[in-house]
Chains A and B, each alone.
Chain A
């Protein structure tokens, strides 16, 4: 029983990280129709920034994280203005542009930061005994709490605030929103920036657990795409459910079937969901 509890706990932890990464991709796809191939590289960039801030500048963990997220937000705005905006309406172009960006960023990280893993210091050290059943890393628990908080705040912003309503209105009907006085270009820009912030939040929260390397972004992006399709293109709720489902299925698969084919379980569940429900778990474009 304690084994199952450990597998589920770890599944929920991993799932929350998957959901957090996938939310940013989904937001950008849902509103702008842009598939950002470089999403994982923005995660990595935030990880590097937080490590640099804490190691080279001596910032405390929270300040390092805030600075990293803000820097990535502005970097995202620059990308949107220079690279993405000229491609609006031409999905293939934006796909190619972000793909090239991913290659450039990955190589730039290799040149600037070197091939070695990089991480900021842990916020908390050691491990806790969970209900006397198993030992679990304190940093993982802290990262889980932070990821859950960011997801909760994001959902509240999207559902309860004026800003969220504006974004959702553009996603539902761009022309009507425009007629009602919403500036779609500005919404696009802010949505892209917000998507980058989510990638950055995931980066700074998870880097103490999983250090960043120049190439780790590929796996991050792939997982985000799997979760997005699993949950249903453009569905934020789908992202959260899809992320948790993926995390739990992976862990149970490793525990009870085989640990050598961990990535296979994600694709199996994806195929099954798409077979029975081609639009994903929560349909599409329901923000």
Chain B
């Protein structure tokens, strides 16, 4: 019997042990799962944020703008989250690289809205990309504040969810560039425009403005991807301009300035006004253009000595503290401004509901680095949902920035 019992007992205790073992394993798994679930829930609760999407180029010819955006985002988040966030939650930014490519831009913003579930999208710096993005934002009824894409059509389409808290072509040309041309009495102007939405749009406006002012001009269209402009510059030289309006964005304008110097146009025959701004402030500017950068002019919404508001001073101090250098590319400030506008909109809406947010944004009245933001409310033109910051025309004089226009912000005389 014993022999018969032993195997039975043995088997029973073995089964029991196996049963116990399975039970313990099951318990262990359940405990682990529960702990993980609790942990996840805990971390989700701890990290619950309001997500804002940012679109802009981190690659491509204007990849430097992505770097400037990153700096501005970091400073804006420090400011907003450092003072308790918005609606009791921290603000989180999800960045999508658009590389200035409309197809990539459209899929990028679609991903931000549908997959990342952002409550609002901000940014962009290429008009071609922005024109694709506004269609997606408007279709998805997601508020979208453009920071630095200038084409008039972006707000001229009068989409209810699209805003622009930054320069537009009409504002830049009519207020800044034409004012500058008329004030300093330029007689012959050569327009050098890249074949992009921004380039074509701003070129058309400049041609209209010059024609109305009775200034003689010639226009050269250039391929945005071209690095060599010798042949085109020869045509410009023969026209004998006293001013070149260079509507070429990104590193391309560096090559243009250097080559315009090499063929003997700038600065001896004509001054060159770069219509986009930040490329003249990028770190490699002087290395690429050499001595031909002297007396070059550029459009800017920032100057190291012109602080338009207390927020600009605050930004400047925070920037220097965080990055150990003064801010150069003004697009770090542009994105900083739109993030402040977005946070203010969410606060006033008291919600992340897109309809309430849109309404709140329409009624924005907030001071940012570039001035006091109030969006246009009247439909029918580019001025709808548009806020144009004041633009400066700055000249490099012995590697120092001198504001030469508008006259009330002037820090020195124009040198020819």
- Of B14-22, B114-122, B224-232, B293-301, the one contacting chain A is B224-232
Using CB atoms, name the residue of chain B closest to A135: B264
* Minimal beta-carbon separation of A195 from chain B (angstroms): 23
Number of interface residues, chain A, beta carbon within 8 A: 36
Using CB atoms, name the residue of chain B closest to A10: B230
- Of A79-87, A164-172, A213-221, A235-243, the one contacting chain B is A213-221
Contact of A261 with B by CB under 8 A: yes
- B259 contact set on A, CB distance < 8 A: 137
Contact of A3 with B by CB under 8 A: yes
Q: In the assembly, what is the distance between CA of A139 and CA of B232, in Å?
A: 19
- A213 contact set on B, CB distance < 8 A: 61, 63, 251
* Minimal beta-carbon separation of B340 from chain A (angstroms): 25
B288–A258 CB distance below 8 A? no
A10–B231 CB distance below 8 A? yes
Contact of A211 with B by CB under 8 A: yes
Contact of A260 with B by CB under 8 A: yes
B231–A255 CB distance below 8 A? yes
Chain A residues at the B interface, C-beta cutoff of 8 Å:
3, 6-7, 10, 14, 110, 114-119, 122, 125, 127, 134-137, 140, 210-211, 213-216, 219, 251, 254-255, 258-263
Contact of B222 with A by CB under 8 A: yes
A10–B63 CB distance below 8 A? no
- A10 contact set on B, CB distance < 8 A: 228, 230-231
A6–B234 CB distance below 8 A? yes
User: Which residues of B252-301 have CB atoms within 8 Å of chain A's CB atoms?
Assistant: 254-255, 259, 262-264, 282-284, 287-288, 290
B222–A263 CB distance below 8 A? no
B262–A260 CB distance below 8 A? no
Q: Known: A110-B63, A115-B59. Is A7-B255 also a contact (CB below 8 A)? A: no
User: Which residues of B24-75 have CB atoms within 8 Å of chain A's CB atoms?
Assistant: 58-61, 63-64, 66-67
- B232 contact set on A, CB distance < 8 A: 254, 259
Q: In the assembly, what is the distance between CA of A260 and CA of B255, in Å?
A: 16
A114–B234 CB distance below 8 A? no
* Minimal beta-carbon separation of B217 from chain A (angstroms): 16
Q: Which of B225, B251, B264, B283 is A127 in contact with, Cβ under 8 Å? A: B264
- A7 contact set on B, CB distance < 8 A: 231, 234
Q: A117-B288, A210-B228, A211-B284 are in contact. List 8 more A-B contacts (CB 8 A).
A: A115-B64, A117-B284, A140-B262, A210-B227, A215-B61, A258-B221, A259-B222, A259-B231
B264–A214 CB distance below 8 A? no
Q: In the assembly, what is the distance between CA of A135 and CA of B262, in Å?
A: 7
Using CB atoms, name the residue of chain B closest to A17: B228
Contact of B322 with A by CB under 8 A: no
Using CB atoms, name the residue of chain A closest to B221: A260
Q: Which of A125, A127, A214, A254 is B59 in contact with, Cβ under 8 Å? A: A214
Q: Which of B64, B231, B284 is A251 in contact with, Cβ under 8 Å? A: B231
Using CB atoms, name the residue of chain B closest to A55: B287
Mask, B103-119, CB within 8 Å of A = 1, is 00000000000000000
- A260 contact set on B, CB distance < 8 A: 195, 221-223
